[in-house]
Structure 1
Amino acid sequence: MQNNYGRGILYAIIAAVLWGLTGLLSQYLFQKTDVTISWSMGVKSILSGLLILAISYNHDGNHIFSIWHQKKDIASLLVYGLIGLAGVQVTYSLTVLTSDAAIATIIQMLGIIGVIIYSTIFFKQRPRRQEYIAIILSLLGTWLLVTRGHLTELALSKTTVIPGICLIFCSAGLSVLPFNLLRKYSSLIILGWGLLIGGVCFEIIHPFWINPPQPTLIKIIAIILITFVGTALAYLLYLHSMNYINSTVASLLDTFEPLTAALGTVFFFNAHYNWAEYVGSFFILSTVFVLAVGSHHQA
């Protein structure tokens, strides 16, 4: 049991790291090329969803369609695809648009509070002492990391409040919404259909044939990596991690996403760390050791 707990932690960390690397690629595409957020969302969601469903069909055959046989499962899948998967991407982008990436990242990490409340009420999963400590470390570390220590300079505009609140709920939904589905279906089936549902909604908003970016080799490679590694593989690992750890722990380990993005800016964008970022990185990394101590109680 202890080995499974450690495996779940590893899967969640790898997923968060891949998301962080994907953020760096996305930053390059959106700032340096003609690739837009609205166009890329539908493309990456549909392609990654189809890939995962193809893999799942090769493994489970027609069983991948069984999730559409029960009305309750259909409702859960639609909510997960629209709120948990598509919702996080949309609300995060809107929060960045009305404020900046630092504030959006802090707000997104507050989703862990929603996970704790939801898990306590509906799943009767009260956080253990180690998880309370990890929550404090992860939130404080994320705050230091994305603000670079300028804590008093953060301010939310009125236009940020609504998308920011929605982002908190969507971030929590990403962890808790698929919980019941995972008891009946494989993570491949749930994630594949969820991404496809979100991708179809994005395509309705911005069809891929309208104002597509001019194709170049570097843009094609970046889009492929974002689609199949940063989206399909990352979400699959994160969802699969919840077969071994609870949603609270999985959400805590998502703090490795801003850590990876911050380190990436140092190596790829020639940014420089200050004291707050070093301390914040240390706090985030410490959550792994704190949660590892708790794994002994899982055995």
Structure 2
Amino acid sequence: MNRRKGIFLVITGAVFWGIGGTVAKKLFQQYQVDVDWLVTVRLLIAGVLLLALQFFGKDRSQILGVWKSRRTAIQLMIYGLFGMLAVQYTYMASIEHGNAAVATLLQYLAPVMIIVYLLVRKQSVLTPQDLLIVSLALIGCFFLLTNGSLSQISVPSAAIIWGVLSGVALAFYTLYAVPLLKQYDSLVIVGWAMIIGGSALSLIHPPWQIDVSVFTLEAYLSLLFVILFGTMFAFWFYIESLQSLLPKESSLLGSLEPLAAVLTTVFWLKEPFGIFQWAGTACIIGMILLVALQKESSSRSNQHPRNEKPLRVS
């Protein structure tokens, strides 16, 4: 029963992440919501709610304890600004200029960037599986962005740039988090990182400076969905799934996120998607599955695999 609950939670969380990006695109298109404002509000509210979950459900002493060490506090500030804020802003900017499907798929280039980084730093060796992952990513991106035509790019250049930057930010976010997660619960680290990122962006775009007169009930419900379901509940469900599933299993089922983003973008927002773009989507989702399976094989040597704390960001 616990295993079924874990599977249900991680699938629901992944679908919420994917749909959340599509709903954000609707806010950009229909209500001209500013990307700066949405990212600020999303981070601040979701961060507070995640810390509230930690306060009422886990070790509440960690919430303030993370700030007692100067070194940890500096790491957390860097992580919040150049990890969390960078990931969230670049992802939403890519959605604003393109669509949620392309933004999500480009963000999932992060595993390839991590492989290249570790190779350059000589911290790993290139394996046949790594070559397959990189090949699938490159082929998938080519089809996704060109729809099979060399003469034109079917996705706006701004969406591509922001999407690739989102992948870079996600790679940094993933690598830099490791020492912090060895000391503190992921709810504490991610909750504070969201608050730090949201607070920094609010200095540029205060969350109260927005004209809500054009907002309808649908707009408010969409905003509520992005903040609660597309951010807070999605992350919470993913973390809770680790109570009954191995991290490798949660990572594998989490690959439903880009699929949900593609399907809702095409069938709900009626965005055009060519046959080669579907082929590119299949390549990138295949890459994600291979990465998850690679984690599975490497985690077999881990004596306590349930102690791993993977993160989700979308």
TM range (shorter): 0.7 to 0.9
* Matching of residue 35 in structure 1 with residue 38 in structure 2: no
**TM-score scaled by length of structure 2:** 0.73
CA contact (8 A) 2:145 2:153 kept: no
Instruction: Pick the structure with more helix per residue.
Output: 1
Quote the Cα distance in structure 2 between the aligned partners of 1:268 and 1:96: 15
Secondary structure in structure 2 of the residue aligned to 1:269: coil
CA drift at 1:74:
1.1
| 1:169, distance to aligned residue in structure 2 (A) | 3.2
Q: Hey, what's the Cα distance between the residues in 1 that align with 2:235 and 2:278?
A: 28
TM superposition shift of 1:287: 3.4
Contact 2:40 2:199 in 1 (8 A): yes
RMSD of aligned alpha carbons: 3.9
Alignment counterpart, residue 247 of structure 2, candidates 240, 244, 249:
244
Number of corresponding residues: 286
> Partner letter of residue 134 of structure 1?
I
Conservation of the 8 A alpha-carbon contact between 1:110 and 1:168: yes
State the secondary structure of the residue aligned to 1:153.
coil
Do structure 1's residue 149 and structure 2's residue 152 form an aligned pair?
no
Deviation for aligned residue 1:150? 3.1
Aligned partners of 1:148 and 1:274 also within 8 Å: yes
Deviation at 1:166, TM superposition (A): 4.9
Q: Per the alignment, in what secondary structure is the counterpart of residue 66 of structure 2? A: helix
CA distance in 1, matches of 2:260, 2:160: 26
Structure 2 residue aligned with 1:23: 21
Find the aligned partners of 1:175 and 1:237 in 2 and give their Cα distance: 19
Maintained 8 Å contact 2:86/2:169: yes
Q: Could you tell me how far 1:45 is from its partner in structure 2?
A: 0.7
Shift of 1:152: 3.9
Distance 2:299 2:112 in 1: 22
Task: Report the AA paired with residue 53 of structure 2.
Answer: I
1:210 is aligned to 209
* Cα deviation digits, residues 41-89 of structure 1 (max 9, x gap): 1111110000000010112122221111112211221111111111123
Matched residues in 2 for 1:150 and 1:20: separation?
27
1:44 alignment partner AA: R
1:129 aligns with 2:132: no
**Cα separation, partners in 2 of 1:15 and 1:277, compared to 1, 3 Å:** farther
Inter-CA distance 286–220: structure 2 relative to 1 (3 Å threshold): same
Shift of 1:25: 0.3
Q: Per-residue deviation at 1:201?
A: 1.1
Match of 2:305 in 1: none
| Partner in structure 2 of residue 274 of structure 1 | 274
Q: Go from structure 1 to structure 2 and tell me whether the alpha carbon gap of 1:285 and 1:90 turns closer, same or farther (over 3 Å shift).
A: closer
Give the structure 2 partner of residue 83 of structure 1. 82
- Equivalence for 1:71: 70
Deviation at 1:296, TM superposition (A): 4.4
Task: Using the TM superposition, name which of 208-217 and 86-95 deviates more.
Answer: 86-95
Structure-2 residue corresponding to 1:177: 176
Separation in 2 of the partners of 1:154 and 1:147? Answer: 4
Q: Determine the structure 1 residue equivalent to 2:110.
A: 111
Q: Within 1, Cα distance between the matches of 2:287 and 2:72?
A: 34
- CA-CA distance at 1:168 after TM superposition: 4.6
Distance between the aligned counterparts of 1:270 and 1:162, measured in 2? 23
**In 2, Cα distance between the equivalents of 1:204 and 1:28?**
26
Query: C-alpha displacement at 1:268, in angstroms?
Result: 0.7
Residues 18 and 257 of structure 2 are in contact (CA less than 8 Å); yes or no, is this contact kept in structure 1? Answer: yes
Q: Partner of 2:115: helix, strand, or coil?
A: helix
SS of residue matched to 2:90: helix
Q: Following the alignment from structure 2 to structure 1, what is the Cα–Cα distance between the partners of residues 156 and 141?
A: 21
Between the aligned residues of both structures, percent identity stands at 28
| Equivalent position amino acid for 2:46 in 1 | S
* Alignment-mate amino acid for residue 181 of structure 1: L
Residue type of the alignment partner of 2:223: I
- Aligned partners of 1:106 and 1:146 also within 8 Å: no
User: TM-score with structure 1 length normalisation?
Assistant: 0.76
Q: Where does structure 2 lack aligned partners over 5 or more consecutive residues?
A: 301-314
Distance 1:18 1:142, change over 3 A: farther
